[in-house]
């Protein structure tokens, strides 16, 4: 579904990503793992168009998107749940969802989509008139995901699902992600520091270190592999 070929991405003059290539399979949950500062968020920004790669290409279903403006990329079917959620804090839950369905195509199916996300996150329905900034952390993350679904994306990008959440909440939301992937058949690309939980829901994983892909594989294999255990899971002596 999404093919990234050897992209170099800079922020100002500093090179963050070095010849990164990866693929996100249709209908799958793909994970990108890596520690703080590895370049994970930069990669998502490049996919969503907020940053433009200097070299290399990004294609969605064979169509190049790396020179498109951000709002066009949304129209083409990529939706992002940004790091730190980035809700519109002074607007109601309802208005946040409405803005998620901002593109012309999404406006037509707004009502139906709203019912669907309320089914997935019933709490949002009871909170629909509440101002987004006053929701709890977990509710805000649910709203951010729901808002990302409102545009009926082909591909959903999620940046740091676990950001600022209690472990029980992380567990619950990652289960919901799995459920969304199954029932809606939605392709999901998830970027995380929290390796173990992510690999439990993901089908395939990549490991990013200092701007380079240093490992990849089926999620189950990665979870078992020594590299991942040593580097991220710290099993054994701490």
Partner 1 sequence: MVQIIVYGIITGAFYGIAAIGLSLVFGVMHHLNIAHGSLIMIGGFAAYWFFHLLKIDPFVSIPFVMIILFIFGALLYKGLFSHLDKLPEGQKIDNSMLVGFGLIWIIDNLATLAWTSDARAVTPSYTGKVWQVLPGLRISFVGLIIVGIALLVIFSLHFLLTRTYFGKAVRATAQDRDAGNLMGINVARTYLTFFALSASLAGVAGVLAAVNYSVHPMVGFEWLLKATIILVLAGVGKIGPVFAAGVLLGIAEGISVYFVGATYQEVVGLVIFIIVLLIRSMR
Task: Please give the residue ranges that form the binding site for partner 1 (CB under 8 A).
Answer: 48, 50, 69-71, 74-75, 79-80, 82, 86-91, 95, 98-100, 102-103, 106-107, 147, 151
* Minimum CB distance to partner 1 smaller for 45 or for 173: 45
What's the closest the beta carbon of residue 71 comes to partner 1, in angstroms? 5
What's the closest the beta carbon of residue 168 comes to partner 1, in angstroms? 27
Burial track 149-159 (b if 16+ CB lie within 10 A, e otherwise) = bbbbbbbbbbb
What's the closest the beta carbon of residue 53 comes to partner 1, in angstroms? 18
* Minimum CB distance to partner 1 smaller for 94 or for 171: 94
- Match 């490991």 to its residue by tokens: 207
SS3 per residue for the chain = CEEEEEEEEEECCEEEEEEEEEEECCCCEEEEECCCCCCHHHHHHHHHCCCCCCEEEEEECCEECCCCCHHHHHHCCEEEECCCCCCCCCCEHHHHHHHHCCCHHHHHCHHHHHHHHHHHCHHHHHCCCCEHHHCCHHHHHHHHHHHHHCCCCCEEEEECCCCCCCHHHHHHHHHHHHHHHHHHCCEEEEEECCHHHHHHHCCEEEEEECCEEEEEEEHHHHHHCHHHHHHHHCCCCC
What's the closest the beta carbon of residue 144 comes to partner 1, in angstroms? 9
* Minimum CB distance to partner 1 smaller for 59 or for 99: 99
* Minimum CB distance to partner 1 smaller for 83 or for 209: 83
What's the closest the beta carbon of residue 231 comes to partner 1, in angstroms? 31
* Minimum CB distance to partner 1 smaller for 82 or for 211: 82
What's the closest the beta carbon of residue 63 comes to partner 1, in angstroms? 17
Given CA atoms 67, 68, 69, 74 in this order, what sign does their dihedral have? negative
* Minimum CB distance to partner 1 smaller for 80 or for 207: 80
């Amino acid at each position: 579904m999404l093919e990234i070929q050897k992209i170099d991405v800079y922020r100002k003059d500093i090179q963050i990503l070095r010849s990164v290539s990866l693929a996100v399979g249709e209908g799958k949950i793909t994970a990108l793992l890596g520690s703080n500062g590895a370049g994970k968020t930069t990669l998502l920004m490049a996919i969503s168009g907020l940053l433009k790669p200097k070299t290399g290409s990004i294609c969605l279903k064979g169509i190049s998107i790396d020179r498109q403006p951000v709002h066009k990329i949304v129209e083409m079917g990529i939706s992002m749940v940004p790091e730190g959620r980035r809700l519109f804090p002074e607007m109601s839950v309802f208005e946040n969802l409405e803005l998620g369905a901002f593109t012309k195509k999404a406006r037509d199916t707004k009502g139906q989509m709203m019912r669907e996300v309320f089914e997935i996150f019933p709490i949002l329905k009871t909170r629909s008139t509440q101002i987004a900034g006053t929701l709890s952390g977990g509710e805000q993350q649910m709203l951010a995901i729901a808002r990302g679904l409102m545009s009926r994306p082909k591909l959903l990008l999620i940046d740091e699902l676990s950001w600022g959440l209690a472990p029980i909440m992380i567990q619950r939301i990652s289960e919901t992600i799995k459920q969304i992937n199954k029932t809606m058949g939605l392709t999901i690309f998830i970027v995380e520091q929290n390796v173990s939980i992510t690999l439990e829901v993901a089908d395939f994983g990549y490991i990013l270190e200092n701007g380079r892909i240093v490992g990849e594989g089926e999620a189950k294999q990665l979870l078992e592999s020594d590299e991942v255990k040593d580097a991220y899971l710290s099993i054994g002596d701490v």
